[in-house]
Structure 1
Amino acid sequence: MSRANRVLAEARAAWYSFIRRRTAVFFTFFFPVIIILIFGALVQTQPTGGGLFTEPAGYYVPGYLAVVVLFTPLSRVGSTVARHREGNRFEKLATTPLSRAEWLLAHTLVNVLIIGLASLIILALVVLVTGAEILFSPLLVPFVALGVALFCGLGALLGRVADSQDGVIAASNGVALPLLFLSETFVPLSLLPEWFHPLVNLSPLTWFSRGVRGATYWPLQDGGGAGTVDPIASLALLLVLTTGFFLAGAIALPQTD
């Protein structure tokens, strides 16, 4: 069996495993809808007022996308790794031609498909519910794909170090929640203390949100968003970070338990 066939076979099994878990399917797509309804329809943005949501609705599109790009891979891949460890499935995997990198690639492809579908729903809802004006740039596809792959790698690392599925969920939330609000998603850099600004650049989610905003929001603004980060530069850096996190996650996967 070729490498491509091995990856596709594992990806097919992971896909069917996902769709059989109705609760997981429901909340994967329902959770970001709730976030949009809360922040977009109830809280709403106030560009001329004070408070947290002071930017136009289109500014927060990266934040809405980050909800699924960040949370879903961390919890799904981390929980899968922990479940495989508890069931000694990696010992069985070691007796097959499927390598650890191929296993992680297969599960990453499934997550890219799932989160890609969720992202389409999010973008449609953001426009319909919040009235956001955004540019549907083709750069959204690689940004979402690379963001998912990056956090799949990080999820594999969490699944390796956590001692149980419950531990993975706790660790995922502990990592994801700070990143979600401290990576220029919902909270602009201007609202954070100046001493914290260099730390924001250390978050991989920052380069996802800056790049998505540069591709979808700034081109429609007066002046084209002068002084903002180039989305191509953000995409290149995200590619480097994704490669590093994916390789680290693949190496961290146990061969035996």
Structure 2
Amino acid sequence: MSRYARIRAEARADWSSFLRRRTAVFFTFFFPIILIVIFGALVRTDPTGEGLFAEPPGYYVPGYLATVVLFTPLSRLGSEVARHREGSRFEKLATTPLSKTEWLFAQTVVNTAIIGIASLLILVLVLALTGAEMVFSPLLVAYVVVGSVCFCGFGAMLGSYTDSRDGAVAASNTIALPLLFLSETFVTLEQLPGWFAPLVNLSPLTYFARGVRAATYPGAETPAIAGVDPAIANLLILAAVAVVAFAFGARSIPHTD
């Protein structure tokens, strides 16, 4: 069996497994919808120019997309790796031609497809409910794909180093929730303490948010990096992090447990 056939078979099995878990399907798409309804349609932008949602609706599009780009791979890959460890499935995997890298790649393909569908749904809802102004750029697809790969790698590491499936889910939520609000998504740098602002640059999600905003939001004031267009520069940084995260994620998956 070729490498492509092995990856395709594993991806097909994972996709079927996802569809059978109706609760997982529901909440994968339900959580970002609730976020948009609450913050985008009910809270809305503060007309005084102050407060948490003081920017125009288009500014927060990267934040809404970040909910699925961040939460979905962290929770799904973390719990999936932990579930395989608890069932000694990696020990069985070691006896097959499918390598750990191929297994993680197949999982990443499925997660990217799920995130892509959820992102499209989010964009439709944001435009319909908030009236956000945005420019549709091909780079948006690249950001969703690269961001998915990046956090799939981190999710694999979480599942490999936590002691149980519940622990992996708890760890993913503990990490994802602060990152969601402290990565220049919903909270601007001006709203953060001066001493904390430089730490925002340590989050991979920051480069996702900045890049998506530079590519899609007409009023973005994202600075260039080393003279490179910010939409391209932030994508390159995120891609570099994604390569490293995926490599470490694949390496961290145990052959046996």
Pairwise same-fold verdict (TM > 0.5) = yes
Tell me how far apart the structure 1 counterparts of residues 213 and 203 of structure 2 sit (CA, whole Å). 16
Q: Which runs of 5+ in 1 are unaligned?
A: none
**Residue 158 of structure 1 contacts residue 168 of structure 1 at CA under 8 Å; is this kept in 2?**
yes
The 8 Å contact of residues 74 and 151 in structure 2, kept in 1 or not, is answered as yes
**More moved, 45-54 vs 58-67:** 45-54
Checking the alignment, whether the CA contact within 8 Å between 1:81 and 1:156 is kept in structure 2 is yes
Quickly say closer, same or farther: Cα 1:55–1:106, change in 2 above 3 A: same
How far apart are the structure 2 equivalents of 1:73 and 1:40? Answer: 24
Residues 226 and 77 (structure 1), Cα distance of their counterparts in 2 relative to 1, 3 Å cut = closer
- Paired letter, 1:161: Y
Q: Which residue of 1 aligns with 2:93?
A: 93
The CA distance in 1 between the partners of 2:153 and 2:221, in whole Å, is: 32
Aligned to 2:223: 227
- Please state how far the C-alpha of 1:226 moved relative to its aligned partner: 6.6
Structure 1 position 47, deviation (Å): 4.8
Q: Counterpart of 1:124 in structure 2: which amino acid?
A: V
4+ runs of 1 displaced by more than 4 Å? none
8 Å CA contact 1:214, 1:228 repeated in 2: no
> 1:94 and 1:187, CA in 2 relative to 1: closer, same or farther beyond 3 A?
same
Per the alignment, residue 138 of structure 1 pairs with 138
Map of 1:38 onto structure 2: 38
1:240 and 1:67 map into 2 onto residues whose CA distance is 21
Q: 1:194: how far off?
A: 1.3
Letter matched to residue 31 of structure 1: F
Mapped partners of 2:51, 2:202: distance in 1: 26
What residue identity is the alignment partner of 1:227?
A: P
CA distance in 2, matches of 1:170, 1:139: 32
1:48 deviation in Å?
A: 3.3
Q: State the SS of the aligned residue for 1:156.
A: helix
Instruction: Check whether the contact 2:210–2:222 (CA below 8 A) recurs between aligned residues.
Output: no
What is the 5 A alignment of 1:231-250? Answer: 231-250=231-250
Give SS of 1:122's match. Answer: helix
Deviations 1:155-192 (A, max 9, x none): 11000111111101110011101111110000001101
Partners of 1:47 and 1:242 in 2: CA distance: 38
Q: Residue 69 of structure 2 corresponds to which residue in structure 1?
A: 69
The answer as to whether partners of 1:155 and 1:249 remain within 8 angstroms in 2 is: yes
RMSD between aligned residues:
1.1
State the alpha-carbon separation in 2 of the partners of residues 59 and 148 from structure 1: 21
Deviation of the 1:225 alpha carbon: 3.2
Partner AA of 1:208 in structure 2? F
Distance in 2, matches of 1:72 and 1:226, equals 26
Equivalent position SS for 2:202: coil
- Per-residue CA deviation, residues 216-235 of structure 1 (Å, 9 max, x unaligned), is 00xx23xx737366110000
Which ranges in structure 2 are unaligned for 5 or more consecutive residues? none
**Displacement after TM superposition at 1:212 (Å):** 0.3
Whole-angstrom distance in 1 between the partners of 2:240 and 2:47: 35
Contact 1:47-1:55 within 8 A present in 2 as well: no
Tell me, in whole angstroms, the C-alpha distance in 2 between the residues paired with 1:83 and 1:226.
Answer: 41
The letter for the 1-side match of 2:188 is P
